Amino acid sequence: MDSSGSDRDSNLDWEIIADIINDDYEEELLHMLLMQQQGNNSTVHRSKRKRKSKANEASSSKEAKELIMKETEFKLKENQLKMKKKFELRMKNLKEEELKIKEKELDLKILFKDTTGMTDTQLQECEISCNLIREKHRIM
Give residue-wise pLDDT tens across range 19-46. 666 566 666 666 666 666 565 545 555 6
User: Is residue 1 very low, low, confident or very high in pLDDT (cuts 50, 70, 90)?
Assistant: very low
How far is CA 33 from its chain centroid?
44
Q: Specify the higher pLDDT residue, 52 or 107.
A: 107
Q: What is the mean pLDDT of residues 80-98?
A: 93
CA dihedral 64, 66, 72, 78 (to 10 degrees): -120
Angstrom CA distances, 48 to 33, 71, 81, stand at 17, 34, 49
> Is it the case that residue 18 has pLDDT exceeding 70?
no
> Is it the case that residue 102 has pLDDT exceeding 80?
yes
Quote the mean pLDDT of the chain. Answer: 77
> Is it the case that residue 105 has pLDDT exceeding 80?
yes
Model confidence pTM above 0.75: no
- Give the separation between CA 81 and CA 66, rounded to whole angstroms: 23
Query: What digits encode the pLDDT tens for the residues 39-75?
Result: 554 555 566 666 666 666 666 777 878 888 888 889 8
Domain boundaries, given as residue ranges, for the chain: 3-137
